[in-house]
Amino acid sequence: MVEAALLRLVCRLQRNHGVAFISEAGARMMICQDTGHMPGVGTIPAALRRLEIQGIVTRDWCTRGSIMPDGVQAIEGCMLLCVPQARIPPRVAAAMSSRTRSERIVRGRLHPQRLHELRQRTRALAPPLARGPDAAALERKRADDAQRLRELAAQWEREERGPPK
């Protein structure tokens, strides 16, 4: 019963950016404001599924922390809805058609101002590796270890046989 109201809402919301971004709770509240009827908890997802099957609406989920089309950071439970048949401004339609679907929907991208902070934290977790000793130092160490092993073997043999009887 809410498909018509939901389509009107999505078309109205996607005018500015070409994509409507909204949560299920927000959609329920806006439909209630428009129609005076509060949809149930499972009504909006069921209506969206029906509209998706018919090819009227496309829906994608935003990950928490990704950047929305208006530049704001997304919260959990936000979805991007698009009605391709809706009348949208020509500039928005031209911008949408020039990009692929994956370019229109931004997932997991960091806010540009937080990129510097992420790089600092990454460097703190994994400091650069210290350079190892050069080949000559390794060879000297190997020779010293071999000499020490020979001395230990000789000492062991002396102790094992003991003094002559």
Beta bridge partners of 73: 67
How many angstroms separate the first and last alpha carbons of the chain? 109
**Banded pLDDT at 33 (limits 50, 70, 90):** very high
pLDDT one-digit tens code per residue, 137-165? 889 999 999 999 999 999 988 887 765 55
Question: Cβ–Cβ contacts within 10 Å for residue 114, how many?
Answer: 11
CA-based nearest residue to 77, from 37, 41, 103, 102: 41
Q: Where are the domains positioned within the chain?
A: 3-119
Question: Cβ–Cβ contacts within 10 Å for residue 29, how many?
Answer: 14
Does the predicted TM-score (pTM) go above 0.75? no
Which pLDDT belongs to residue 83? 84
pLDDT one-digit tens code per residue, 87-109? 655 556 556 555 555 554 555 55
Domain 3-119 has CATH 2.60.40: no
